[in-house]
Amino acid sequence: MADISKDGWLNRQLKGLRLADSFSSDETIRWGEFIKPSRDTRPQPTDETLRIAVIASLPLGFLTLKTALAYEEHFPEDVYIVCLLTDDPANADAKIGVKKRMWHLFPEEERRLIEAETVKSALAAGIPVYTGDIKRDWFREKLSGLSPDAILCSGFGQIIDPPFLKIPKLGIYNFHPSDLVHGFGAGPAPYEDSKARDAKFTCWTVHLVNEAIDDGHILGFSPPINILHADGRFPEDPKDYYSKVADGLDHLVFSTIEALTGWHRASRTEPMSGIDFGARFPHEIKQRMLEPIRDFPEYLFPDPALFTGR
């Protein structure tokens, strides 16, 4: 059974902020916990509302979550987030590939900060959070009971197995920061792949999740992203690289949710097959994505213009 005491550092914060007071696990769970928010004041969803779960970790996952939260806040009649699933990089029992993935770029205290801010963002909005092993019936039953129509995924460290894949009728959509269309950068190391190829540009790929890693049906891809410094150098610091590829992710997530809400309103019961992201991205955002790496960090919050021009 998961040792919830290992999450005590997080739970003390959540209780102190009055964001949560209910933490549970099960004897079959190897790590992590299910956290219920102290309160949920959101309007209840109707049959017309798209119910989504969000799987998000790392800074890019945080931006994905914040975009989904902003969408729900602005258009509550269209979207209702039923649950957040996130990695637990501070728990030594967690099987999430910490040493292979972007987590290894951050010291332990920063890992904790990223996890805590992700969890707090969801709980503050009234959304329950799970930080543990997803390959167990106990959690699958909890998630199934929340009835997500679709799941959005960004930066998650666990392989999603067949029983989990069957839960959302409209599918699981992964945001991956590499050009999977041309076979580049699948797996946990897009930066290393781009560096080995001396690439000048990359893009985001949105694909359906299946049993293999980054191998599902591709729905579409973002406009190109310049990943070089202004003097043409490839970034030596992976953090600079991943900060730059944050360009456009909020617009990609927004467009995917927008397409899913329309799909759901049309009473479709199968996953989407494609999205023309090029037609959905504003010209000024495409131009910004082509700019070189900037000398200041990207702020991981969605573009407010997304929600004013709809």
**pLDDT tens-place string over residues 144-197:** 999 999 999 999 999 999 999 999 999 999 999 999 999 999 998 999 999 999
Mean pLDDT, residues 236-264 taken together: 95
In one-letter notation, the amino acid at residue 86 is: T
3-class secondary structure, 225? strand
Q: Which positions ≥6 away from 114 have C-beta within 8 Å?
A: 57, 58, 59, 62, 89, 106
Q: What are phi and psi of 37, to 5 degrees?
A: -70, 150
Residue 6 pLDDT: 79
The string of pLDDT tens digits covering residues 276-300 is: 999 999 999 999 999 999 876 565 7
Q: Which two tokens stand for residue 116?
A: 């805590």
How far, CA to CA in Å, does 29 sit from each of 33, 36, 140, 217? 8, 17, 11, 31
Helix axes 249-265, 58-74, angle to 10 degrees: 50
Which H or E run includes 8?
A: helix 8-16
Strands 218-221 and 205-208, how do they pair? antiparallel
3-class secondary structure, 13? helix
Q: What percent of the chain has pLDDT over 90?
A: 84
Radius of gyration of the chain (CA): 19
3-class secondary structure, 130? strand
Q: Which positions ≥6 away from 255 have C-beta within 8 Å?
A: 275, 277, 280, 281
Residue 92 pLDDT: 87
Burial (Cβ within 10 Å: 0-12, 13-18, ≥19) of residue 173? buried
Looking at the predicted structure, is the pLDDT value of residue 228 above 90? Answer: yes
Measured CA to CA, the distance from residue 86 to residue 107 in angstroms comes to 18
Confidence tier at 2 by pLDDT (50, 70, 90): confident
Domain layout of the chain by residue ranges: 39-80+129-307
3-class secondary structure, 57? coil
Residue 212 pLDDT: 83
How far, CA to CA in Å, does 292 sit from each of 122, 226, 229? 32, 6, 5
Q: Which two tokens stand for residue 189?
A: 């190391």
Higher pLDDT, 220 or 3: 220
Mean pLDDT, residues 69-85 taken together: 97
> Half-sphere exposure of residue 8, counting CA atoms within 13 Å on the CB side?
3
Report the chain's mean pLDDT, rounded to a whole number: 94
The string of pLDDT tens digits covering residues 97-121 is: 888 888 999 999 999 999 999 999 9
Its pTM stands at: 0.95
The string of pLDDT tens digits covering residues 24-33 is: 999 999 999 9
The string of pLDDT tens digits covering residues 13-54 is: 999 999 998 999 999 999 999 999 999 999 999 999 999 999
Place of tokens 């729900």: 72
Give CATH superfamily name and number for 39-80+129-307.
Formyl transferase, N-terminal domain (3.40.50.170)
